[in-house]
């Protein structure tokens, strides 16, 4: 019985991945939300192609290192940055407080955050809508979008 359930789960995951591939537009975006509100969307194939939503958090997002695939976004429990400052001179020199994200090889991952057990930092890089990154104590969710056309990438209410 357990083997049948396991095979069904593996099969359904494969079917979902196939559906995702069929519906994909060829573009892959990471939409980062904080406290349930979208704050930034990043093109995973070209991290310099991003936009910041016009929200109360827009000034808490640092994208000056987008050419290197590095972004800093707010995080509820990520406030003590001493550990990051030891290895990231840019964050230290600019007094950045938040979660450090990396876009590399068409995938996004969390490089630094604070939470019990640091679970979202341990998540592998993703580019699949089936594998979002969820940082619950930080109120940050990274959702992958594969079904959006490029001309829909930037809504009217965006900042750069």
The answer to whether residue 129 sits within a structural domain is yes
The percentage of the chain sitting over the pLDDT mark of 70, rounded to a whole number, equals: 76
The pTM of the whole model exceeds 0.95: no
Q: How many domains does the chain fold into? A: 1
Distance CA 88, CA 58 (A): 22
Q: Supply the CATH number for residue 136's domain.
A: 2.60.320.10
The answer to whether residue 52 sits within a structural domain is yes
The residue segments making up the domain with residue 32 are 26-159
Distance CA 52, CA 69 (A): 15
Reported as a single tens digit per residue, the pLDDT across 22-81 is 444 568 999 999 999 999 999 999 999 999 999 999 999 999 999 999 999 999 888 889
Distance CA 61, CA 74 (A): 7
């Amino acid at each position: 019985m357990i083997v049948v359930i396991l095979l069904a789960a593996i099969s359904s995951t494969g079917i979902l991945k196939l559906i995702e591939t069929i519906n994909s537009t060829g573009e892959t975006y990471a939409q980062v939300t904080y406290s349930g509100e979208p704050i930034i969307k990043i093109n995973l194939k070209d991290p310099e192609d991003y936009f910041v939503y016009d929200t109360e958090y827009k000034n808490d997002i640092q994208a000056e290192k987008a050419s290197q695939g590095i972004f800093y976004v707010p995080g509820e429990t990520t406030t003590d940055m001493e550990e990051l400052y030891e290895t990231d001179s840019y964050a230290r020199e600019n007094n950045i407080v938040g979660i450090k994200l990396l876009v590399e090889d068409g995938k996004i991952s969390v490089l630094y955050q604070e939470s019990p057990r640091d679970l979202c930092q341990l998540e592998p890089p993703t580019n699949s809508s089936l594998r979002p990154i969820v940082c619950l104590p930080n109120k940050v969710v990274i959702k992958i979008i594969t079904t959006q056309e490029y001309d829909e990438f930037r809504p009217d209410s965006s900042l750069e």
